[in-house]
Amino acid sequence: MNYNELYQQIATKKSYLCVGLDTDIRKIPAHLHKESDPIFAFNRQIIDATAEYAVAYKPNIAFYEAHGPQGWESLQKTLDYIPNECFTIADAKRGDIGNTSGLYARTFFDPSASGLNFDSVTVAPYMGEDSVTPFLAYDNKWVILLALTSNIGSHDFQMLPVDGRPLFEHVLEKAITWGGPDRLMFVVGATQTAQLSRIRELVPDHFLLVPGVGAQGGSLAEVSRIGLNSHGGLLVNASRSILYASDGTDFAQRAAAEARTLQQEMATYL
């Protein structure tokens, strides 16, 4: 998917909601455990219930990988089920030396290799340029690079001062020499609104993927006020607050209600 297609979808749905498919077998409703693939059975209903309100879906790869080969089958079925107009994110936090990152890129971007055909993958920046650029070599595929994450550990290294400015600013500045707003996004936690204005100055046109609204406590209003640009420029992710709105047979209905509430708030900011 390209930049304009993504923006068109945001404008049409009046939404920049990304639904995080952090599907935990221990948290899904009990009645689904009798299905042959409970994780896919859950995801399918979540997708059906939220596709009207969401522009993107983000399976968190750890939740699938933890089930071995069967988990990768659930991931494949889930990805294939997501409507074509939706942007898809493999939240994998990969990154390794060049030849290895090339293999990870094939995993997520080349269906002839693994079967998967995601639009984007999250990548960790610690190993530098040659660990990121192999992911940028695919047309209409995106890297979403960790910049400033939503967790408490983000203060350990991302905020360390380098020449008087936090490390994450150097990550942003260097990364935008590797890829433009048409194929590079950044992860910025919703809990980091104090830094978001500065980030928008440094990367005015790039999309930001913002996790941390909902269960992690970030404010959608604040993130939207500071982060939106003329092409949307935001994908705001919610996972647990949507997926686990109910643990009963009404889980999909309640997920739809949560997604709709977020979408309606987003519509007022666009």
How far is the C-alpha of 136 from the C-alpha of 209, rounded, in Å?
A: 17
Pick 115 or 181: Cβ nearer its own copies: 115
H and E: helices and strands count for the chain:
12, 10
* H or E, element range at 93: strand 87-94
164 binds its own copies, rule: CB under 8 A? no
100 binds its own copies, rule: CB under 8 A? yes
195 binds its own copies, rule: CB under 8 A? no
242 binds its own copies, rule: CB under 8 A? no
How far is the C-alpha of 100 from the C-alpha of 123, rounded, in Å?
A: 13
Number of neighbours of residue 226 by Cβ within 10 angstroms = 17
Residue count (the chain): 270
Give the contact letters, 104-123, x = binds to its own copies (CB under 8 A), - = no: x-xx-----xxxx-------
Judge contact between 117 and 84, C-beta under 8 A: no
Question: Least Å distance between CB 179 and its own copies?
Answer: 14
Determine which residue in the list 29, 38, 59, 125 makes contact with its own copies, applying CB under 8 A: 125
Determine which residue in the list 124, 176, 226, 270 makes contact with its own copies, applying CB under 8 A: 124
How far is the C-alpha of 133 from the C-alpha of 167, rounded, in Å?
A: 20
CA distances 169 to 103, 199, 200, Å, are 28, 7, 11
Question: Least Å distance between CB 125 and its own copies?
Answer: 6
204 binds its own copies, rule: CB under 8 A? no
The one catalytic residue among 14, 34, 58, 93: 93
How far is the C-alpha of 242 from the C-alpha of 28, rounded, in Å?
A: 12
How far is the C-alpha of 219 from the C-alpha of 238, rounded, in Å?
A: 12
58 binds its own copies, rule: CB under 8 A? no
How far is the C-alpha of 180 from the C-alpha of 188, rounded, in Å?
A: 17
Question: Least Å distance between CB 4 and its own copies?
Answer: 30
131 binds its own copies, rule: CB under 8 A? yes
By CB under 8 A, how many residues form the interface with its own copies?
Answer: 60
CA terminus-to-terminus distance, the chain: 21
Determine which residue in the list 14, 93, 198, 254 makes contact with its own copies, applying CB under 8 A: 93
Pick 8 or 114: Cβ nearer its own copies: 114
Please identify which residue in the block is written with the tokens 């979540």: 46
- Which part of the chain contacts its own copies (CB under 8 A), choosing from 46-54, 158-166, 202-210, 258-266? 158-166
- Residues marked active site are found at 93
Binding site for its own copies (CB under 8 A): 22, 60, 62-63, 65-73, 76, 91, 93-101, 103-104, 106-107, 113-116, 124-132, 146, 149-158, 160-163, 167, 170-171, 174
